[in-house]
């Protein structure tokens, strides 16, 4: 898969999140943190599955919006969680 260059900076993150029913975040980086945060704001209020993120990030996002955060230790668990979530 190739990168899609949009020159939109954080606007691209907002489009990704707004057009998604659920966000799966793999790993943790500044852009990923931005997308997770945008997912949890009141206007979006969507569910997020965190996969392979560090414990500090798991704690932070769970404290912010525990009903919308799901933590998977690996991709198999992520698929199991995804199949159980109601949209």
Judge contact between 51 and 23, C-beta under 8 A. Answer: no
Q: So what's the pLDDT on residue 31? A: 85
Rounded to whole angstroms, what are the CA distances from 71 to 9, 17, 23, 31?
Answer: 27, 18, 12, 18
Q: So what's the pLDDT on residue 1? A: 57
The pLDDT tens digits for 16-67 are 888 999 999 999 988 889 999 999 987 888 999 999 889 999 999 999 999 9
């Amino acid at each position: 898969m190739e990168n899609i260059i949009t020159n939109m900076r954080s606007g691209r993150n907002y489009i990704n999140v707004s057009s998604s029913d659920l966000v799966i975040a793999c790993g943790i980086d500044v852009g990923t943190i931005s997308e997770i945060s945008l997912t949890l704001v009141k206007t979006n209020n969507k569910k997020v599955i965190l996969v392979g993120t560090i414990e500090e990030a798991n704690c932070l996002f769970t404290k912010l919006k525990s009903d919308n955060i799901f933590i998977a230790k690996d991709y198999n668990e992520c698929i199991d969680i995804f199949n159980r979530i109601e949209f």
